[in-house]
Each structure stands twice: as C-alpha cells, then as structure tokens.
Structure 1
Amino acid sequence: MRVLLVRPPGGGAVIEVRELYELEDLYEVYRLIDAIWHPDPGAEPVQVELLRALSHAGNYVAGAYQDGRLVGMSIAFLAAPPGVSLHSHMTGARAGRGIGMALKLHQRRWALDRGLSRITWTYDPLVSRNAHFNLVKLGARPVEYLASFYGAMDDSINSGDETDRVLAAWPLADPRVVAAAAGRAVQAGVPAGAVAALSDHDGRPVPGTTNAPALLVAVPQDIEGLRRRDPEAARAWRVALRDVLGGLLDEGARVTGFHRRSCYVVEREPIERGFNHAKGSS
C-alpha cells in the first residue's frame, strides 16, 4: 500500500500516510526523529543513509502528513522467519490524535499486501499509555521480556533509566486485531479470582503473589514524570516489573490484556475466551 488516508477522531485534518523513498523526505524523517527523541550529537538512532538503504531494499519507511506537514514516521524491516514477519523498529509522532493509529494501520496493510502475517515491536512496559495503545487499541500482546535491551541510551526519553522492553506480537489476521483495526478496541476483562502480583501503593511498587492462575501487574500512572520527580521510585518500579512481569513471561504465562490503563492482566493457563468491542480506535 502506497498511501492511506485516515480522518482523526473528533475531526481535524486528514492524516495521509505514505511510503518514503526520496532523500528529501528521508532528511525530513531524520529531523522529526531529532525533534521527538532529542538524542545527543553522535548518538542518533538512525542516519539518513540507513533510511535510504532500508527503503531501497524493500523495507518499510513511512511518513504521516497533515496539511502537508510531516507529523509522524515509522521504520520497519523484514524479520525472521522469512516471509512471515516484519519488525517495527521506530514509530514516533508529534502531539495529535490518531497519528499513531494511522501509521499502524498503514503498516499492517503494507505487511498484508506482501503476504506477511505478523508484526513485532518493542516498547517500554512501564509506560502505561503505550501499553494501552499496543494492547487495547491495536490488540497486540507481549510475548517476551527483554532486560536492558538497548543498553544505556542518552536521549530525552530514555536517559537515566535502563532500557527494559517487552516484545509485542501483532498477528495481523487474528480476530482481535481485525476488530481493533476496524475501530473496535479490545477490552480485556479481569478473570474471576485474579490477584495482585504487583500493586501501586503511594507511588511505590508492592509485590504480591504470583502463585495464582490469573494475576494483575500494576504500572505507575506516569513513569516519565516519576523519573523526574523521584528517580529512586522510578528505579524501584523498573526492578519490580522486571522481576514480576519478566518472571511470569519467562515461566510461560500470557499477558491477555491491559486493564483500565493501569495493570497488565496475566494468565498462567491458555484460556480461550471471546472479547468485547468498544467503539473508537485512536
């Protein structure tokens, strides 16, 4: 798919998402990445030359535009197993509603057009808004916990914290994902008898029990603000989530949703259940 037009919820200018090939466009992507991440000189996450090579080799480099202005970008590359997966390496957007969803819808259609069935990406599991977007609005699911995945990073988003990530998988033809792509967000119910494996008490993590079939793993409301206000508390959350959520995923438990923008729903046994739809996608 070359171009996708999306009208954001609540009105506003149409978002146009398209593949990018020309050097002028790739330099614009590079400048947008700098504006979003503010990396230190010499520590830029991608260079224009790499964007050019990825695009020319048939990988995914796309930009989102409103009123002719670049407002979002996404970079992905073909991944193992061949012919099955696309790995989304970077996606970023300026403030505005619907840009991230428009980029993911375009990326999904691009992958399906090439016979791919899955897209993966990593995200910081402590950032609740990203967890909500990935799990609820897109219907993706965490499949692996990756401790300090990128090592030390000095940009404005990651500086001062370890780069723990979870690998999210997005099976493109799964009914949950099809519903989410159609604007029906995936609402996760809490199984009966679920217990707290990690709770938030006055801004601090409090571990509970992990010996139950269904568990709730809390994250702070605003980890970025907490990093600025109380770095010690932010560090405590990082270690606690690594121990609890990371430990559960290592043991084979499944994350089945993200409840009320505050906690992961984790189940130890694969339970087949339906899902509910909520209107509104971005």
Structure 2
Amino acid sequence: MTGPDVRELCRIEEFEDVLRLFDEIWRPDPGGAPVTVELLRALSHSGNYVAGAYDGETLVGASAGFFAAPAGEALHSHVTGAVGGRGAGLALKLHQREWALARGLGRITWTYDPLVRRNAHFNLTKLGARPERYLRSFYGAMYDAINAGDESDRVLAVWRLTDPRVVAAARGERWPVEVPEGAVAGLADRDGAPERGRTDAPVVLVGVPADIESLRLRDPEAAASWRHAVREVLGGLLDEGARVTGFHGSGYVVERRVP
C-alpha cells in the first residue's frame, strides 16, 4: 500500500517533533499534553511502541503504546495523532499491527470517543476492531481544544489481529456489515437531538451525531444530551453483554442477547 513512511522513533529530536505535532492537533492547556518527551523516551527505550509517519521529511502522524496485561498477549495503543488527508492514521495502524504480530501479540487495544462518528467508522469498518467495553468518564476532566467541556467517556476497542475481518481490512478489503431484518433503533438522530427507542430486540441500532466536535462548540447542551444518551443506551447494552458487530450508516449495530 502506498502512503506515508512509518518507522520507529528513538531520538529526543524525534520525540520533540511528536510533541509539536500533538500540540497542533489537540491544542492542550499547559501541562495537558497526552504524552511528554520523557514518557516517549522511556517507552521507546524499554521496548514499547513509539512510531512516526512521514510524508517525505515531514512528520504527519505518530503513535505510542505499551505492552498490556496479560503479559505477552496485547499492546495498548495509548495515543495516536495524525494530520487529516495524508493516510497517516491507517499507515500507523497497519505498521502497529505488523509490529505486534512480530512480537507474538494477538491483539491491540485502544480507547476512543464513541460519539466521534468518523473515528467509529475508521476503527470498525476500515480496521475491523470492535468496541468491547464502555468506560465512563475514563480520563476525568480534559483540557484541550477537542475535549474541553465534555465528559471523557470512551469505549475500549479491541483489534484481534488474526480475525478474518482484520486480516481482510489489512489487505484493504471491506468486511460487509449487514443490518439484520427486524433491527430496531435504540437511539436515533431526530432533528439533531437524540431520540431513544427500544433496546429489547435481538439487534439494536445506536446512532451518533454527525459531528459531535462542532456540536460541542455550537450547542453544548445538545452535545451533553448525546453524551448521556449514548452512555445509557450503548453503555447499557455493553454492560448487559451485548456485542457491537459493526458500524453502519450513522451508528453502531449491536447484537443483544435475548433469552
């Protein structure tokens, strides 16, 4: 696949470039950066994952992760940031997958905001990962240009590296997502507001807003109503043991265990 060149990073100058890139993406308050140069140095030195994506000599994306429990089975991808439109996010994930497989790991995990539709589509459709846990206010208060003013709910995405849909995604193929007949709308967008429906069917569709980041700035109250609705519906379903089987259109496809 063509795209940015991805390589592991090990020099202080490279870590400083990563911090500058992340500052441009998140624009955090002082002291609120997702990582520090010192942490990147420690992760790299101890054999964890720190990599950058380059378009020529320009850094356009970076990712850092660490080995996770149980030992020898998983990598947790702590932070990934990329300039849009360069293919850096996908290139980093594919490099990360090969890196993990070479070390005998079977899965990679990371967290993401379930309300950000483009991230959900990327994680589930382009990569074949699946959200497996809903984590309420996971990071506490966050002070950056993207997350400020909202609660930091996240879902834990699990990327099972040899799953057939993941192998297909790594080849650039799409695993078809089918919405079974009889699926019901557990949460839908109704004129910009969340409208709740039934969640007791075998398959429940959980919609998310088109652009939560813009909505936070334009209408914080509406954004908060989406946060709480998705927390209750998607979070509640996952707590009950339901499985997210894909992302279709504007929301999650969730298969619910029904007696």
Q: 1:254 aligns with which of 243, 247, 255?
A: 243
Q: 1:73-125: CA deviations, max 9, x gaps?
A: 00000000110000000001112231111000000000000000000000000
Structure 2 length-normalised TM: 0.98
Residue 79 of structure 2 aligns to a residue whose secondary structure is strand
CA distance in 1, matches of 2:179, 2:206: 12
Aligned to 2:175, the other structure's residue is in SS state: strand
Structure 2 Cα separation of the partners of residues 45 and 90 of structure 1: 7
Match among 112, 121, 124 for residue 123 of structure 1: 112
Number of aligned residue pairs: 258
CA shift, 1:30, in A, is: 1.1
Q: 1:90 aligns with which of 66, 75, 79?
A: 79
Q: Judge which range, 145-154 or 185-194, deviates more.
A: 185-194
**Matched-pair contact (CA < 8 Å) for 2:49–2:66:** yes
Runs of 5+ unmatched residues, structure 2: none
| Alignment match, 1:50 | 39
How large is the Cα RMSD of the aligned pairs? 1.0
TM-score normalised to the size of structure 1? 0.90
Following superposition of structure 1 onto structure 2, how do residues 48-197 of structure 1 map, counting pairs within 5 Å? 48-197=37-186
Aligned to 1:115, the other structure's residue is in SS state coil
CA distance in 1, matches of 2:35, 2:104: 27
Once the two structures are aligned, what percentage of the paired residues are identical?
68
Q: 1:47 offset after TM fit, Å?
A: 1.1
C-alpha separation between the residues in 1 aligned to 2:21 and 2:114?
24
Amino acid of the residue matched to residue 237 of structure 2?
A: L
8 Å CA contact 1:20–1:62 kept in 2: the answer is yes
Q: What displacement does 1:44 show?
A: 1.9
- Mapped contact 1:195–1:212 kept (Cα < 8 A): yes
